[in-house]
Amino acid sequence: MTDARWVGRSYETAPYQVTEKSIRDYMAAVGDERDGGDLMAPPTYAMVYGFDAFWQLWTDQEVALDVAHLVHGEQRFSFHRPVRPGDRIRTTGRLTAINTRGDMELVTFELRAVDDQDQPVSDGTALFIIRKP
Amino acid sequence: MKTMSTLDFEHVSPGQALPSLSKQVTVEQIRQYAEASGDRNPIHLDETFARSAGLPGVIAHGMLTMAFANQMVTDWLGDRSMLKRLQGRFAGMVVPGDGVTCSGTVASKDDATRRIVINLVVTNQRGEKVFNKGVAEAEFPSQKE
Specify the pTM: 0.95
Report ipTM (2 d.p.).
0.95
Per-residue pLDDT for B24 more than 60?
yes
What residue segments make up the domains of chain B, in order of their start?
Answer: 13-25+60-139
Q: Which residues, other chains included, contact B116 with Cβ-Cβ below 8 Å and sequence gap of 6+? A: B9, B12, B106, B108, B109, B110, B137, B138, B140
Q: Which residues, other chains included, contact B86 with Cβ-Cβ below 8 Å and sequence gap of 6+? A: A43, A44, A76, A77, A79, B66, B69, B70, B73, B134, B135, B136, B137
Residue of A nearest to B93 (CA): A71
| pLDDT-wise least confident of A33-42, A55-64, A94-103, B127-136 | A33-42
Closest-CA distance, B54 to chain A, in angstroms, reads 8
Are A68 and B53 an interchain contact pair (Cβ–Cβ within 8 Å)?
yes
Residue of B nearest to A80 (CA): B84
Domains and CATH numbers, chain A: 4-131 (3.10.129.10)
Are B90 and A72 an interchain contact pair (Cβ–Cβ within 8 Å)?
yes
Which overall architecture, per CATH, does domain B13-25+60-139 show? Answer: Roll (3.10)
Q: Chain B neighbours among A 26-55 (CB < 8 Å)?
A: 26, 28-37, 40-44, 47-48, 51-52, 54-55
What residues of B are in contact with residue A31 (Cβ under 8 Å)? 23, 29, 68, 71
pLDDT per residue over B47-106, tens digit each?
999 999 889 999 999 999 999 999 999 999 999 999 999 999 999 999 999 999 999 999
